[in-house]
Structure formats: structure tokens, C-alpha cells
Structure 1
Amino acid sequence: MNTSDHPDSSPLLEDFPYRLTDNVRFADLDPNQHVNNAVYATYFETGRVTLMKDRSFGLMPQGLAWIMVRLDIHFRAELKWPGTIEMGLGVSKFGRTSVTFDQVVFSQGRCMASSQSVSVLIDDATRRPTALTDEIKQNFERWWRRGFRDI
């Protein structure tokens, strides 16, 4: 069983091959003066979209698009402003038409939140799910989360 299966175990940033750094914004705060829970979905979206939309990685072929169908977030600690965050992303599973991503938000060396999301590949014209090709799977090869493999 992987550590991601245990909600109380803290992920390690080095297990996530795709990384981005961002700032905590004052606008991210709620009346409790910590980052609002809904903002984490935006942090995780930033990581996924930045990876997927970079045409140089070959993860979004012409005529196809990705839509997210599931997002589970585990809130681990309060995140405050001001500060910076480091976001990590790794692939943890392939389905016939989908990719599962594990993601984390770290601040000052501590995991503040983790998530798992599922994105489905669809045809732009029909808006129907389409099977992952071997080429798309190969293009994801470098983004596997350490300890996971589903090829």
C-alpha cells in the first residue's frame, strides 16, 4: 500500500516530478486569516493546467482536450499570508480515457494540502471521452510520481 493511501502520512515533495512556485496572495485569505479552502482547488488547477497546456510536452494533441471529473483535497495545515508555496504534481494512474494526478502544496518545507484528481481526455468536437494513445502515455512518462507505475 502506498503512503498516499494513508491520510495521516505526509507526502514528500521530492516524490512529485513536476513543480511550480507561486505566492500566497492576500486575496487568498478568508475571514479566519488563512488561505480559504476553495483557493487550494485553484492552486492545484494551476499545476495541472500549466503542465497540460505546455505544448512542448505533447500532452494535449490537436482536437482533444482534458476535463477534470474528480478532485479530492486533504487539508493538512493552515497556510497564511505572506508566503510562497511550492506545488508538486505526479501521475499516479492511467485509465482507458483518464489520468489520475497526485498533487501537493508545500510551504516552508511542510505539506499544507494534498489532492488527487482525475482528468478525462475528450474529443473537442463530440465532447465525448476518447482513449489515451500510446504516444500520450509515453509523453507522461517523465511525470510519474515516485513509487507509482501503471503502464
Structure 2
Amino acid sequence: MEDFLATHSISTNIQVAWGEMDALQHVNNAVYFRYFETARLDFFNQINMLADLKTTGIGPVLSETNARFKRPLTFPDSIIVGIKISDITQDRFVMHYTVFSKAQQAVTTIGLAKVVMFNFKTGQKAKLTPELLAALSKHQ
């Protein structure tokens, strides 16, 4: 687990809930996207990405997201979702998720999201601010 944490400067701890399991006795595939969302919002808050959303109307939206399941998760467990950033351009970037099971001491799932900055007032793409570009670059 130390190696995992050392390679993921931003990570979020999440408890697996019994109600997240499906009839096949493992966490349902759709739940992983909620795990990703929780980690994504935690990351956004840590780099202050949403601070100006109300005043500027500019914020992140997903253009694509996916998951690759390597091992099933079951209750009880606690996971860590690590995030890395890549492919940063003026108006978008890619978030890479890695889900680590504390019970299994193994990576169970990997995923990614393509995030685009969007101006909700104009309905158009927007540029990342220099501050956000710098914050994202620290997590490549």
C-alpha cells in the first residue's frame, strides 16, 4: 500500500457499502463511477477548481469516462482511489483513476475520465486558468 500511496499524490479513501453489491455478490459495475466521482470532486476541491464556478460560470464536465475491472470488490472493504493527470491542454485534461482494495492489498480497477472546461453561461468550451494549469501539472 505504501508504494501505491507514494505514486498517487492525491487519493481518496472510500468505504465499500453492503448495498453496493449486486446479485452476484460483488460491487456492481455502475458503483465504480460513483467512486470515481467522489475521488474527482475531492481532487477538484483540493486544487480549488470549483472555487470560481458560481461567479464565472466556468467548470469541468466529462466528455468520456471508462473503467477496466481487474478484480471484484466485496463488502466489507475500504478502498483508496488514486488520481493522476495527463494530456493537459488549454481546455482539457485526462484523469486516471486507480482503485486499491485494502482488504485484498491489490489494485482492483483502473479508469479514466476526459475532462473539458465548460462555460455554462455561453454553452462553449473554456480555457483552464494559469492557476489550474499549474495545479494540474503538479499531479502528472
Same fold (TM over 0.5): yes
Find out whether 1:82 has 2:76 as its counterpart: yes
Q: Which residue of 2 aligns with 1:136?
A: 132
Scaled by the length of structure 1, the TM-score of the pair is: 0.80
Deviation at 1:43, TM superposition (A): 0.4
Q: Which residue of 2 aligns with 1:70?
A: 64
Q: Which residue of 1 aligns with 2:91?
A: 97
User: Aligned ranges for residues 100-139 of structure 1 at < 5 Å?
Assistant: 100-108=94-102, 109-139=105-135
Which sits farther off after the overlay, 135-144 or 70-79? 135-144
Contact 1:16-1:103 within 8 A present in 2 as well: no
Q: Which ranges in structure 1 are unaligned for 5 or more consecutive residues?
A: 1-11, 145-151
Scaled by the length of structure 2, the TM-score of the pair is: 0.86
Q: Which residue of 1 aligns with 2:41?
A: 49
How big is the alpha-carbon RMSD for the aligned residues of Structure 1 and Structure 2? 1.8
Cα deviation code 1:118-144 (max 9, x no counterpart): 111011311211122322211223322
Q: Which ranges in structure 2 are unaligned for 5 or more consecutive residues?
A: none
Percentage of identical aligned residues: 23
Q: Distance in 2 between matches of 1:141 and 1:58?
A: 14
Contact 2:47-2:132 within 8 A present in 1 as well: no
Q: How many aligned residue pairs are there?
A: 132
Contact 2:91-2:128 within 8 A present in 1 as well: yes
Q: Which residue of 2 aligns with 1:29?
A: 21
Q: Distance in 2 between matches of 1:142 and 1:95?
A: 14
Q: What SS is found at the alignment partner of 2:6?
A: helix
Q: Which residue of 2 aligns with 1:19?
A: 11
Which sits farther off after the overlay, 30-39 or 57-66? 57-66
Cα deviation code 1:69-107 (max 9, x no counterpart): 111211000111011111101111213311101111110
Could you list the structure 1 runs, at least 4 aligned residues long, displaced by more than 3 angstroms after superposition.
Answer: none
Q: Distance in 2 between matches of 1:120 and 1:61?
A: 17
Q: What SS is found at the alignment partner of 2:125?
A: coil
